[in-house]
Homo-oligomer: A and B are copies of this chain.
Amino acid sequence: MPPLKHYLPVLDWGRDYSRTALSNDLIAALIVTIMLIPQSLAYALLAGLPPEAGIYASIAPIILYALFGTSRALAVGPVAVVSLMTAAAIGQIAQQGTMGYGLAALTLAFLSGAILLVMGVFRLGFLANFLSHPVIAGFITASGILIAASQLKHVLGIPGDGDTLLETLHALALHLGQVKPVTLVIGIGATGFLFWVRKGLKPLLRRLGLGPRTADIITKAGPVFAVAVTTLAAWAMDLTERGVAVVGTVPQSLPPFTLPSFSPDLLGSLFIPALLISIIGFVESISVAQTLAAKKRQRIDPDQELIGLGAANLGAAFTGGYPVTGGFARSVVNFDAGAETPAAGAFTAIGLAIAAVALTPLVYFLPKATLAATIIVAVLGLVDFSILKRSWAYSRADFWAVATTIVVTLALGVEIGVSAGVILSIALHLYKTSRPHVAEVGLVPGSQHFRNVLRHRVETLPGVLTLRVDESLYFVNARFLEDLVLDRIARDPAIRHIVLMGSAINEIDFSALESLEALNRRLGEQGIGLHLSEVKGPVMDRLKTSHFLDELHGQVFLSQFDAWQALGGKQDRDRAAE
């Protein structure tokens, strides 16, 4: 059994916690706290929850992750894509603003936490690999567009909800006549300002002589500035009278103790969304954690990460939050601000708790349009269509997986979109393996190396057909080889020996074995030898448990060159005997 500190990494880094580390962690925590306040409010808005849910979801989860997670810089809390998926999942079950909606959010976090913990305990982290890089890239891009579109209603001050891009745009179009001008000014002004902060402020600060890290951190504080200015404006000019929607009353309280629902009906209907949220959240989190760990030559343990994220989500479920994961923006700020250990996260949690108790009255006049602007600017940074071009250049199958994920996510929503991407990726892979590449090979002169006769100048033996099957033989392609060989010998009656070069055959399953047995019988009836060469150890071990090798009308050679020498020599003898 691994030592306890394997499951509780805090025991590892906590032992030699130094004063330098403490002060670095405190500074990072302060910066992250300031950045997280508007971000947490905004993502709660995106998830359709009251603003405080975003802050609560950043407190307990961040502490629990600090105890159980393996990344030293990851900041756990609400993130854009998971907030969108939460809204999509709960929107089908309850009306926004009702008790049922909040309860469903807690239940979703509870289910996500349970799923992540189970995956961690059973070491199922590899399941995340089924989301290929192209599918994730496509999904994130499409989600970014959906999220940005979902925030337009706040910028315009009109209703405009929808699960899909078309629904959202249609709802907005229906109410275009009611656009609130002051809200629009705030929304567009904040969006424009934040885009400028992103693109123009950092070069400006660098020219003013600031270091790159400081410039970065100030840039990341842009939303805080936009929030402060628009809140002040709304308060001073009494803009709520002019139709500007504001955040309103946020309870001054530490995170409350809450209970998710254990109703089997609700758990059942939220299970698939929770599974998707867990896996997407895990993939997003681990890729951030690994990127940051690589910079400091630290290692991330994916299965322990599942446990850390699982604990964080359970924490969210019992403290008024909703599903959380490791976020890119907050983690990068944390890292850049110099966080050395997960204690920085704990200090951030304390900062947010103070904010929840003391600062919430200050956000009463914060316009929703400003929060929407921060979301729009953040998520448009996720939109990246270059994956379409890159995957098209490299592999059509990958391209179709990306394109399908993007189109289906936009057209039918996040859950169907990501599922379609995964299923299509698997289907395309299976399709490719169902029609494997098979090369007829010959000897590269002056070597013992065998290559494709169509690509290299090689020597072949008359009457001997050597085939290199470039795929494991399994049920999906079991009959393929049989049909191919029978076809070849029907077209070329001079063939007396077939050598199957097994260097690329990584498995022969039961269906393929039966097909090989049938092939061996058919070739035997026609007096043609079936030989094997370069069969791998694990494949040979398995063949030995069957009768195939006893019944084989031919030999098994260790290397293809041995086969060449034996069959070449045999032919010389045959010819001499004639």
Contact = CB atoms under 8 A, between A and B. Distances in A.
A558 B509 contact: no
A397 interface: yes
A393 interface: yes
A448 B561 contact: yes
Interface string A503-514: 111110111011
A314 B426 CA distance: 33
Contacts of A472: 433, 471
Interface string A478-502: 1110000000000000000000000
Given A133-B514, A444-B558, A536-B470, A432 B507 contact: yes
Interface in A3-51: none
A555 interface: no
Contacts of A435: 126
Contact of A476 (B129, B390, B509): B129
Contacts of A394: 510, 513, 542, 545-546
B133 A537 contact: no
B455 A537 contact: yes
Contacts of A132: 474-475, 478, 509-511
Contact of A538 (B133, B430, B437, B476): B437
Interface string A530-566: 0000101110001001100000000000110100000
A447 interface: yes
A337 to B, nearest CB: 24
Contact of A470 (B134, B425, B480, B506): B506
A340 interface: no
Interface string A135-159: 1000000000000000000000000
Interface in A404-443: 425-426, 429-430, 432-437, 439
A129 B477 contact: yes
Given A475-B132, A475-B133, A545-B393, A449 B126 contact: no
A498 to B, nearest CB: 18
A213 interface: no
Nearest to A434: B126
Nearest to A291: B518
Nearest to A135: B475
B448 A449 contact: yes
A395 interface: yes
A452 interface: yes
Contacts of A447: 448, 559, 561
A391 interface: yes
A262 interface: no
Nearest to A449: B559
A398 interface: yes
A397 B508 CA distance: 12
13 contacts: A126-B480, A129-B475, A129-B478, A129-B480, A132-B478, A132-B511, A133-B511, A134-B510, A393-B546, A394-B546, A395-B510, A437-B506, A448-B561
Closest 5 CB pairs of A and B: A132-B475, A448-B448, A449-B559, A398-B510, A133-B511
